[in-house]
Amino acid sequence: MDTNQLQQLLSAAYPNMTFEQLAYTHQGAERVALLLQKNGMAIHDPTVSECGRFGAEPYFYGMTENHARMLRRHNLHYERTQVQCFEDLQAIKASVLRAVASDPDRLHQDPKEFLLDLGFEEYNSGGVMVYRIDDPSTGQQLLVFDNEGDGIPATFADIEMARYGADESLLGPAIDIHGKLVYPDL
């Protein structure tokens, strides 16, 4: 859903709230965040308090959990690149591995919602769609792809991950969902 569609949906659902678009540029690409205006504050993540230091339930802002999730997910890139509160790629990679280690039933589930909630974006990498999250401080990126090299994984069991540099060079071996090396020769 693009920014305009999300703004229309949220404005229709919450006619007494104001949602404003904020254009920003990152690495030469123009993007748009959608911010909730509340008590003189511009809120990009309705799952944290207005000061940004504490967690908050979406009802604090008068939103449903689903709508808050949509707004948060839409603004994750803005948060990581403009607000500078991002996790490093190693911690994100560990979160993906931990998801299956703590719940093996996930192996057969679609990882899309989980990865998007972590801040991954669907990305066209040389004609193949993958999930990508970047570290704006280093220019490095973490890609998640399927174990056949065909694109987006259908299940957690299909996941392979690798870190790439700002120049798109592979930084070490790729690993599977269990943390095992996939390309040990690198």
Domain ranges (residues) in the chain: 3-83, 89-176
d(CA 163, CA 78): 21
pLDDT at 82 over 80: no
Q: How confident is the model at residue 186 (pLDDT cuts 50, 70, 90)?
A: very low
pLDDT at 87: 58
Q: In the predicted model, what is the mean pLDDT of the chain?
A: 87
pLDDT at 84: 59
pLDDT at 91 over 90: no
pLDDT at 120 over 80: yes
- Is pLDDT larger for residue 99 or for residue 86? 99
Cβ proximity of 129 and 122 under 8 Å: yes
Cβ proximity of 160 and 147 under 8 Å: yes
**Which of 2-16, 69-83, 169-183 has the largest mean confidence?**
2-16
Which token pair is 87? 């996790």
- For the entire predicted model, the pTM comes to 0.69
